[in-house]
């Protein structure tokens, strides 16, 4: 006999549907457009899509590495039972390095100090650690400065417990400044030649999403896409090649008709000018729906149509003007972003970028994998 739960389980107010086959599709696009092996970037909980699930899904494809931001993310991938090689995208702290060596995760080096420390730790356990050199061709965030690297290489090569198998760099403006980016590609090729040529490095990589979509790979044989795997192209002209992965949804919790001259939400920045049917929807900035869209013409999608958001976004609820169009009812599903309202569109209205919208979706939002 079924036992009745003591309290009814309430359905989630806000959830994110994640389409795994669209993710796989976008990975294929990345592979074909870039013409290289792929390192899916899964930092920040796979851009809010759920690190473990996304890593498990992509690990069954032919991928070279997972790119993560820190050792905590690397651990979570291993704890999820995924054994794909892991690449650490940023600098490491000295306290983290023993674990990195023991686990054979792959760091990118920005300094001789780091390199010497990894060399000592690898020697202690009698191993040779595979490492990549990061070269700063213009990002200004990490790596050896391009013009310094050839002199440093000689010293790096004396570190016998390091196997330098890669050379990586990063593009800060591939979606904004073509000329500068082409200069970075040229700089990368020059450094590569000065270090002994492409044959010297098993892995050569420069491009994230925008770089791989918009530029020739040159001597590179690996790309590091993040955003495009999640269905958004930083270069709008390539958007139609990709499929939507995440749809952020909520439900109408309440419908009321307000008279003309009635304020809506905090600050009363919106006041009705006519009798208005207002749908209250169970999602807010506490779920990561950006408060900054308030007053900027954001829309949501209900029953096959767009409706305008009115008043300020509150922590748990938003209000939608449903006076016109199909009859909206309590309980109706609402698409906040997804196939009909793009993340990129929402990001513009929130004066931010798609990356920040994705990574801002909070833990309260249940991720549902399709
Ligand atoms: C985050 C990151 C990427 C992925 O960038 P997208 O623009 O999301 O494709 C690639 N490389 C490095 C070094 C990064 O930090």
| CATH number for position 339 | 2.40.37.10
**pLDDT over 90, % of the chain:** 96
**94, 221: one domain:** yes
Q: Residue 58: which of 339, 104, 337, 50 has the closest Cα? A: 50
Q: What is the pLDDT of residue 4?
A: 66
User: Is the Cβ–Cβ distance between 165 and 156 less than 8 Å?
Assistant: no
Residue 295 pLDDT class (50, 70, 90 cuts): very high
Number of domains in the chain: 2
Does pLDDT of 5 surpass 90? no
Does pLDDT of 229 surpass 80? yes
Is residue 250 within 6 Å of ligand 1 at its C-beta? no
User: Is the Cβ–Cβ distance between 285 and 336 less than 8 Å?
Assistant: no
241 catalytic residue (yes or no): no
Phi and psi angles of residue 75, each rounded to the nearest 5 degrees, phi first: -60, -45
DSSP 8-state code for residue 75:
H
User: Is the Cβ–Cβ distance between 96 and 77 less than 8 Å?
Assistant: no
Mean pLDDT across 192-208: 97
E strands within 137-289?
144-145, 162-168, 203-205, 222-223, 246-258, 263-264, 270-271, 276-281
Residue 269 lies in a domain: yes
Q: Which atom of ligand 1 is nearest to the CA of 234?
A: 7
Q: Give the ranges where the chain is alpha helix by DSSP (H).
A: 20-34, 43-48, 51-59, 71-79, 97-103, 112-124, 149-157, 178-194, 209-214, 343-349, 354-360
**102, 210: one domain:** yes
Does pLDDT of 341 surpass 60? yes
Q: What is the pLDDT of residues 9-18, one digit of tens each?
A: 677 899 999 9
Q: What is the pLDDT of residue 335?
A: 98
- Look up the CATH number of the domain holding residue 190: 3.20.20.10
Q: Which atom of ligand 1 is nearest to the CA of 355?
A: 8
| Crossing angle for the helix pair 51-59 and 71-79, to the nearest 10 degrees | 60
**364, 263: one domain:** yes
190 catalytic residue (yes or no): no
Residue 167 lies in a domain: yes
Of the residues 41, 54, 203, which should be mutated to test ligand 1's pocket, given the most ligand atoms within 8 Å of the CB? 41
Residue 217 lies in a domain: yes
Residue 60 lies in a domain: yes
Tokens 């390539």, residue? 238
Residue 51 lies in a domain: yes
Q: How far is the CA of 12 from the centre of ligand 1 (A)?
A: 31
Ramachandran area for residue 219 (φ above 0: left; ψ -120 to 50: alpha; else beta): alpha
Q: What is the pLDDT of residue 188?
A: 97
Which of 43, 130, 249, 349 is catalytic? The answer is 43
Q: How far is the CA of 41 from the centre of ligand 1 (A)?
A: 6
Does pLDDT of 70 surpass 70? yes
Q: What is the pLDDT of residues 203-225, one digit of tens each?
A: 999 999 999 999 999 999 999 99
Which of 47, 266, 349, 369 is catalytic? The answer is 266
Residue 121 pLDDT class (50, 70, 90 cuts): very high
**65, 204: one domain:** yes
Residue 1 pLDDT class (50, 70, 90 cuts): low
User: Is the Cβ–Cβ distance between 110 and 142 less than 8 Å?
Assistant: yes
**336, 360: one domain:** yes
Q: How far is the CA of 46 from the centre of ligand 1 (A)?
A: 11
Is residue 205 within 6 Å of ligand 1 at its C-beta? no
Final residue of a structural domain among 177, 208, 231: 231
Is residue 132 within 6 Å of ligand 1 at its C-beta? no
Is residue 349 within 6 Å of ligand 1 at its C-beta? no
Q: How far is the CA of 8 from the centre of ligand 1 (A)?
A: 43
The residue contributing the CA closest to ligand 1 atom 15 is 89
Does pLDDT of 65 surpass 60? yes
**261, 216: one domain:** no
Q: What is the pLDDT of residues 7-47, one digit of tens each?
A: 766 778 999 999 999 999 999 999 999 999 999 999 999 99
Q: Residue 106: which of 76, 145, 67, 155 has the closest Cα? A: 67
**34, 82: one domain:** yes
Q: How far apart (Å, rounded) are the C-alpha atoms in residues 20 and 247?
A: 12
Residue 353 pLDDT class (50, 70, 90 cuts): very high
Q: How far apart (Å, rounded) are the C-alpha atoms in residues 62 and 64?
A: 7
Tokens 């993710």, residue? 23
Q: How far is the CA of 170 from the centre of ligand 1 (A)?
A: 8
Q: How far is the CA of 311 from the centre of ligand 1 (A)?
A: 35
Mean pLDDT across 179-200: 97
**261, 360: one domain:** yes
Does pLDDT of 76 surpass 80? yes
Q: How far apart (Å, rounded) are the C-alpha atoms in residues 182 and 214?
A: 10
Q: What is the pLDDT of residue 12?
A: 85
**75, 210: one domain:** yes
Q: What is the pLDDT of residue 11?
A: 75
What's the number of CA atoms in the CB half-sphere (13 Å) around residue 3?
3
Is residue 89 within 6 Å of ligand 1 at its C-beta? yes
* Cα 46 to Cα 189, 203, 227, 245, 356, distances in angstroms: 30, 23, 9, 12, 12
Residue 13 lies in a domain: no
Q: How far is the CA of 226 from the centre of ligand 1 (A)?
A: 6
Q: How far apart (Å, rounded) are the C-alpha atoms in residues 65 and 63?
A: 6
Instruction: Give the residues across from 299 on adjacent strands.
Output: 308
pLDDT, the chain, mean: 96
DSSP 8-state code for residue 260:
T
Residue 216 lies in a domain: yes
Q: Which of 6-20, 66-80, 288-302 has the lowest mean pLDDT?
A: 6-20
The residue contributing the CA closest to ligand 1 atom 13 is 89
Q: Which atom of ligand 1 is nearest to the CA of 229?
A: 9
Q: How far is CA 339 from the centre of its chain?
A: 18
**262, 336: one domain:** yes
Question: In terms of residue numbers, what domain contains 323?
Answer: 246-369
**280, 225: one domain:** no
Q: What is the pLDDT of residue 3?
A: 63
Q: What is the pLDDT of residues 128-177, one digit of tens each?
A: 999 999 999 999 999 999 999 989 999 999 999 999 999 999 999 999 99
Residue 115 lies in a domain: yes
Is residue 227 within 6 Å of ligand 1 at its C-beta? yes
Final residue of a structural domain among 231, 262, 283: 231
The residue contributing the CA closest to ligand 1 atom 3 is 208
Q: How far apart (Å, rounded) are the C-alpha atoms in residues 201 and 134?
A: 12
Final residue of a structural domain among 231, 265, 296: 231
**268, 350: one domain:** yes
Is residue 84 within 6 Å of ligand 1 at its C-beta? no
């Amino acid at each position: 006999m079924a036992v009745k739960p003591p309290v009814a389980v309430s359905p989630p107010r806000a959830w994110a549907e994640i389409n795994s086959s669209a993710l796989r599709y976008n990975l294929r696009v990345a592979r074909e457009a870039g013409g290289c092996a792929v390192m899916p970037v899964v930092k920040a909980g796979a851009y809010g899509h759920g690190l473990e699930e996304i890593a498990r899904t992509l690990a069954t494809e032919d991928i070279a590495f997972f790119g993560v931001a820190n050792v905590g993310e690397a651990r979570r991938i291993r704890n999820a039972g995924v054994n794909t090689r892991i690449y650490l995208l940023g600098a490491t702290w000295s306290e983290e390095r023993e674990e990195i060596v023991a686990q054979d995760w792959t760091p990118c080096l920005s300094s001789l100090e780091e390199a010497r420390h990894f060399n000592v730790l690898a020697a202690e356990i009698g191993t040779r650690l595979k490492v990549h050199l990061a070269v700063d061709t213009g990002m200004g965030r990490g790596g050896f400065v391009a013009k310094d690297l050839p002199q440093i290489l000689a010293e790096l090569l004396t570190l016998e417990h390091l196997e330098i198998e890669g050379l990586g760099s990063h593009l800060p403006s591939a979606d904004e400044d073509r000329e500068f980016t082409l200069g970075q590609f040229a700089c990368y090729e020059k450094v590569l030649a000065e270090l002994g040529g492409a044959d010297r490095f098993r892995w050569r990589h420069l491009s994230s999403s925008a770089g791989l979509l918009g530029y020739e790979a040159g001597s590179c044989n690996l790309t590091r896409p993040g955003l495009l795997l999640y269905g958004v192209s930083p270069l709008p002209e390539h958007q139609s090649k990709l499929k939507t992965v995440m749809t952020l949804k909520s439900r109408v919790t309440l419908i009321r008709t307000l008279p003309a001259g009635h304020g809506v939400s905090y600050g009363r920045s919106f006041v009705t000018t006519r009798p208005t049917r207002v749908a209250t929807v169970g999602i807010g900035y506490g779920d990561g729906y950006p408060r900054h869209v308030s007053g900027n013409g954001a829309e949501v999608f209900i029953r096959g149509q767009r409706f305008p958001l009115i008043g300020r976004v509150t922590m748990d609820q938003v209000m939608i003007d449903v006076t016109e169009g199909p009859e909206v009812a309590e309980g109706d599903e609402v698409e906040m972003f997804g196939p009909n309202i793009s993340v990129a569109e929402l990001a513009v209205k929130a004066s931010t970028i798609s990356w920040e919208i994705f990574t801002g979706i909070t833990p309260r939002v249940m991720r549902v994998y399709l």
